[in-house]
Amino acid sequence: IGRPITDLKPNIDIPNLESLVAQSVDTMSLKELEVQDRYGHWYSLRIRPYKTAENVVEGAVLTLMDIDALKAEVKELHLYAEAIVETVREPLIVLDSNLRVVATNAAFYETFKVSKAETEGRFIYSLGDGQWNIPALRELLERVLPAQAAFEGFEVQHKFPDVGERTMLLNGGQIRTRKGGAPLILLAIEDITERKKAEAALRALPAQLVDSQEEERRRIARELHDSTGQTMAALTLNLSVLDGKADCLDDRGRAALSDSLDLASQVSEELRNMSYFLHPPALDEMGLDGALRWYVDNFVKRTGLEVDLVLPKRLPHLPEPARLTAFRLVQEALTNAHRHSGSKTAKVVVAQGDGELALEVADEGSGIPPDHVKGLGLLSMRERVTQLGGRLEINSGDDGTSIKAVLPITTTTESAIP
């Protein structure tokens, strides 16, 4: 008692003890720190100014609290938490309130090909020579997170120098460490690049099916026109030669020959129509407007369904895929109206808008049967329109069916209708 505290040699290492006591007395504030004895036992040291009854500061009171068990428990919990984080397969990153990296897991290092030394303690936007300086991530961390405190399912696409183009799904939120302490930010990064590729491949399958179907139609149309059509032309020519010798035949033979000529002519006409329906040459030769007028005229003759065709005075230029899509949509919709609706009339309206071509086919029938709503024909229509960046709407009920499609177009004109 009465000796300077620095003369004491306790078994607890307290660096700068005299300075800490002086600061506590001078500032009238509590000083608190954790210290260890020579055996590694942990204590909480508190230095508090001491006042007399006259409210005069005469010194400081030092207290030691044994926190060794608490420290051991905290360490164990910390190791437990680290073990859990390391087993998570998704990359995880913890940031402080200044957006500096506090910790990451092994999955983060493995996914983004970086090391712990070049990651922890660094500003997130400076990681990997700025590869995390992503505008969408800035928006998330600097605006979304402070306002919402949590987020999920935030999709970010970015090209990283070492790992290439990646699509990531971000989830995270703020973590309060202690009362009054600055929050940490936990960011979970799910790499969904391969999943997105698989989804894109699945979406492309119907489009590939449509393309394959169209190519098969072209092939069959060519075969019918170039091979079967030529064979029928030769057959008709041979029958015409026989017709010139009809006087040599009896009545029954002449009748059979005449019927054969009529049948050959009918088959030739059906083959030509079938070839044109599979892939109409008028679509390439006369454009969409000419092809639609040709198709509707023939459709009315074949089916007896009255069709009102409304076309604009000028049709915009359409590349071959869009031109074919518009034609097939009208073809499929009119075929459905004839086969399933029971309607006596139908209307086809083609209109040009601002950078768009709108088509609508409507009837006044009984609607599309439920088993045909998801049929291949309607599915093909939807896939054709979607593939071109357009949209399709189908409304069907007891008062009829309306199929509307909108396709993006260019502005140059393709043809004019007199």
User: pLDDT by residue (tens digit) across 123-162?
Assistant: 988 887 788 888 888 888 887 777 777 888 888 888 887 7
- Average the pLDDT over 360-375 and give the result: 75
Q: From CA 173, how far away is CA 44, in angstroms rounded?
A: 32
Which residue spans within 164-312 are E strands per DSSP?
Answer: 164-175, 184-191, 306-310
Residues in the chain: 418
- Average the pLDDT over 339-367 and give the result: 88
- Average the pLDDT over 42-71 and give the result: 84
User: Quick one: what percent of the chain has pLDDT higher than 90?
Assistant: 6
Q: Would you state the structure tokens that stand for residue 102, as one six-digit string?
A: 């506090």
Quickly state the pLDDT bin for 404 (edges 50, 70, 90).
very high
Whether the pLDDT of residue 34 is over 50: the answer is yes
- Average the pLDDT over 195-223 and give the result: 70
User: pLDDT by residue (tens digit) across 77-128?
Assistant: 556 556 556 666 788 888 888 888 888 888 888 888 888 888 888 898 888 7
User: Whose structure tokens read 């990283």?
Assistant: 160
Side chain identity at residue 36, one-letter code: Q
Angle (nearest 5°) at CA 57 between 52 and 63: 85
Whether the pLDDT of residue 207 is over 70: the answer is no
pTM of structure:
0.47
- DSSP-assigned beta bridge partners for residue 395: 402
User: pLDDT by residue (tens digit) across 13-32?
Assistant: 777 788 888 888 888 888 88
Q: Please, where are the H alpha helices in 113-192?
A: 127-130, 135-139, 145-148
Q: From CA 387, how far away is CA 392, in angstroms rounded?
A: 11
Q: Would you state the structure tokens that stand for residue 343, as one six-digit string?
A: 């309607």
Between the ranges 12-16, 38-42, 51-55, 218-222, where is the mean pLDDT highest? Answer: 38-42
b/e map 391-414, b = 16+ CB within 10 Å: ebeeebeeebbbbbbbbebeeeeb
Residue 63, classified by CB atoms within 10 Å of its CB into exposed (0-12), middle (13-18) or buried (19+), is exposed
Q: From CA 410, how far away is CA 317, in angstroms rounded?
A: 6
Q: From CA 132, how far away is CA 158, in angstroms rounded?
A: 9
